[in-house]
């Protein structure tokens, strides 16, 4: 089983795809959330909203101009599960027109199912699907420290340990930094009956390598009552999970409530850098290029600052045992 350090204290705060997207979207331009009306005004060619948006502004307004939302992206994150089967993907549409006096908007293409009483999001540069893709790209470039418990070996004679079953997300032996274990009388967090113990305070030596696509530990051995621990530094996209699942159950985020153990603001600034890579192609003038460079440098600075705040790379103690060859008095050469 894998867990990010401190995850037990923050298990209620593991962000989802929806929260990652909503954290990054305001940094890329216009972003509003709302809930559309229920009733006759909801059609496959029209969304109605007479309630306040997430920002507090009114969607039905006597002040906003008709051009305010025209040309923006409308995202319906829950629409994929609505409509007749097989339903068209209703999640993303461009806003063709906006009638603020009535609180209506029309999409550039009709939906298969009407937006009836569900949440919606309005963005500018990127659609909701694009933002989700940017989040998943950013997850590949944010690294997380995670602890993994291995299954107890069948015998203390076992010195080769295949990590495929216990942590299949570990695909590179260089991601393994520390190896240790707990006795049956010890506990990682401590209980009323078991003492708190740091499994990595008794570091194991050995080596890790790939064999036919599998990562293998070689060297350490444990008894059948001991619990082996491995400390790993891995890219966050390898540590994703469905809601209620375990860290590393899946690669990347697909569903709205899929989760990843990463700080939202940290990932948001990586999303900005990923977005900048897409937009560079469109910078046609020298002044626009210079402005884009300044924005990229600012985003990189903030991302680096948050990386320092969120990622403390542990010392690498899982290394091959050191053998010193030295002369000994009256005994020729031998191990020190």
The CATH number of the domain where 87 resides is what?
2.40.30
Residue 250 falls inside a structural domain: no
Rounded distance between C-alpha atoms, residue 75 and residue 81, angstroms: 14
Residue 245 falls inside a structural domain: no
β pairing state of 104-107 and 92-99: antiparallel
Residue 323 falls inside a structural domain: no
86 preceded by cis ω (within 30°)?
yes
Residue 160 falls inside a structural domain: yes
Residue 336 falls inside a structural domain: no
CB 112 within 8 A of CB 225: no
pLDDT in tens, 228-285: 999 999 999 999 999 999 999 999 999 999 999 999 999 999 999 999 988 765 555 5
This model's pTM is above 0.85: yes
Domain count, the chain: 3
Query: Do both 209 and 276 map to the same domain?
Result: no
Residues of the domain holding 277: 134-140+262-310
Rounded distance between C-alpha atoms, residue 105 and residue 121, angstroms: 13
In the predicted structure, residue 10 carries a pLDDT above the cut 90: no
Rounded distance between C-alpha atoms, residue 267 and residue 255, angstroms: 18
Residue 56 falls inside a structural domain: yes
Query: Do both 9 and 157 map to the same domain?
Result: yes
Query: Do both 146 and 11 map to the same domain?
Result: yes
pLDDT in tens, 307-320: 999 999 999 999 98
Contacts of 274 (CB under 8 A, 6+ apart): 134, 137, 138, 141
β pairing state of 186-187 and 195-196: parallel
Strands (E), the chain: 2-3, 31-35, 47-48, 73-75, 92-99, 104-107, 119-123, 143-149, 160-162, 176-182, 186-187, 195-196, 207-211, 214-218, 227-235, 325-328, 332-335
Query: Do both 104 and 36 map to the same domain?
Result: yes
Query: Do both 109 and 69 map to the same domain?
Result: yes
Query: Do both 93 and 38 map to the same domain?
Result: yes
Residue 279 falls inside a structural domain: yes
Query: Do both 151 and 230 map to the same domain?
Result: yes
Query: Do both 38 and 65 map to the same domain?
Result: yes
pLDDT in tens, 80-106: 655 555 556 899 999 999 999 999 999
Residue 194 falls inside a structural domain: yes
Query: Do both 108 and 69 map to the same domain?
Result: yes
């Amino acid at each position: 089983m894998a867990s990010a350090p401190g995850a037990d204290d923050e298990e209620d705060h593991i962000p989802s795809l929806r929260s990652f997207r909503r954290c990054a979207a305001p940094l890329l331009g216009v972003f509003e959330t709302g809930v559309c009306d229920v009733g006759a005004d909801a059609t496959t060619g029209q969304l109605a909203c007479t309630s306040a948006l997430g920002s507090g502004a009114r969607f039905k307004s006597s002040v906003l101009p008709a051009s305010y939302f025209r040309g923006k992206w409308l995202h319906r994150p829950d629409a994929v599960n609505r409509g007749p089967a097989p339903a068209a993907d209703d999640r993303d549409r461009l806003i063709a027109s906006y009638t603020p006096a009535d609180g209506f908007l029309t999409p550039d293409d009709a939906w298969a199912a009407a937006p009836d009483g569900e949440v919606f999001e309005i963005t500018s540069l990127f659609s909701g699907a694009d933002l989700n893709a940017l989040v998943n790209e950013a997850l590949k470039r944010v690294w997380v420290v995670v602890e993994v418990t291995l299954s107890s070996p069948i015998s203390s004679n076992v010195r080769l340990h295949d990590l495929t079953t216990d942590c299949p997300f570990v695909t590179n032996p260089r991601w393994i930094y520390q190896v240790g274990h707990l006795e049956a009388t010890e506990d990682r967090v401590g209980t009323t009956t078991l003492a708190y113990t740091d499994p990595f305070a008794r570091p194991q030596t050995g080596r890790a390598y790939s064999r036919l696509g599998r990562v293998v530990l070689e060297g350490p051995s444990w008894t059948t009552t001991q619990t082996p621990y491995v400390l790993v530094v891995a890219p966050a996209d390898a540590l994703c999970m469905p809601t209620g699942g375990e860290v590393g159950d899946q690669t990347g985020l697909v569903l709205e409530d899929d989760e990843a153990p990463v700080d939202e603001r940290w990932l948001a600034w990586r999303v900005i850098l990923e977005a900048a890579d897409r937009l560079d192609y469109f910078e046609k003038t020298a002044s626009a290029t210079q402005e884009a460079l300044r924005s990229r440098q600012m985003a990189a600075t903030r991302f680096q600052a948050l990386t320092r705040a969120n990622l403390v790379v542990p010392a690498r103690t899982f290394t091959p045992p050191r053998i010193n060859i030295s002369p000994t008095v009256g005994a020729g050469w031998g191990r020190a």
